[in-house]
Amino acid sequence: MAPSIAITNRSLHDQVVTRVRDLIIEGKLEPGSRIDEAQLIEDLGVSRTPFREALRTLAAEGLVIVRPSKGSIVRKLTPEDVFSMLEVLGQLERLAGELACVRASDEEIGELVELHERMMACYRKRDRMPYYKLNQEFHSRLAELSKNETLKEMQSNIQARLKRIRYIGNQKPDSWDGAVADHEKMVQALKDRDGPGLGQAMESHLMKTWDRVKDSI
């Protein structure tokens, strides 16, 4: 690990979680691999306690499996796992899109459109990780605009488990271009408050994600 990943403020739990999560998302900690805790603690410049707390948080997100006395490993999803989660997430986000067009205020829709524009700025600069994080926020915020707490919770749980998968979906330039085109359709439907159109675009986008990642799993 490069020294540049060292954490300067050692008391911030969320910073440790973010750094380790990013290492998993980017594949620097490979799916199925055992996490070398001693090495990571040294590289990150933190003590054992906040690092262990970070692992528990990532385990709750479904990214890590903590095995008492055996060490922790990065969760590895099977193709069947990924397809089934994308299938369910597609239906959840379809409903989120339909509800958001009915329940969201003009101000809330404007804020989501602004977030989309920030995503597009990262896309044009080919800043993949910032784009990815804004993309994740877009999907989470859309679920929030459904004003349905059960839907929001279910969407959040599945999205957390698919973080690495969603990241590799933009690995190839043509796949990234396709995902951006999908988002342009989503945002236009949102602006028009076209619930069925947005719902269909959301579901289609999630199932296309399967096509983009299935050969990489």
The pLDDT tens digits for 91-122 are 999 999 999 999 999 999 999 999 999 999 99
**Structure tokens belonging to residue 79:** 């193709």
- pLDDT bracket for residue 11 (50, 70, 90): low
Q: For the domain that residue 36 is a member of, what is the CATH number?
A: 1.10.10.10
Residue 49 lies in domain: 10-74
> Last residue of a domain, which of 74, 93, 124?
74
Least confident interval from 3-12, 86-95, 150-159, 201-210: 3-12
Domain assignment of residue 156, yes or no: yes
Neighbours of 55 (CB within 10 A): 21
Domain assignment of residue 2, yes or no: no
Q: Which residue has the higher pLDDT, 68 or 79?
A: 79
**Which residues, 6+ apart, have CB-to-CB distance to 183 below 8 Å?**
116, 119, 135, 138, 205
pLDDT of residue 58: 95
pLDDT of residue 69: 82
The pLDDT tens digits for 37-77 are 999 999 999 999 999 999 999 999 999 999 988 899 999 99
- pLDDT bracket for residue 13 (50, 70, 90): confident
The answer to whether residues 18 and 65 belong to one domain is yes
C-alpha 212/C-alpha 19 separation (Å) is 26
Domain assignment of residue 45, yes or no: yes
DSSP secondary-structure letter at 62?
A: T
Helices (H), 4-127: 13-25, 37-44, 48-61, 79-103, 106-125
Strand partners of residue 34? 73
The answer to whether residues 67 and 15 belong to one domain is yes
> Last residue of a domain, which of 47, 74, 101?
74
- pLDDT bracket for residue 165 (50, 70, 90): very high
pLDDT of residue 9: 47
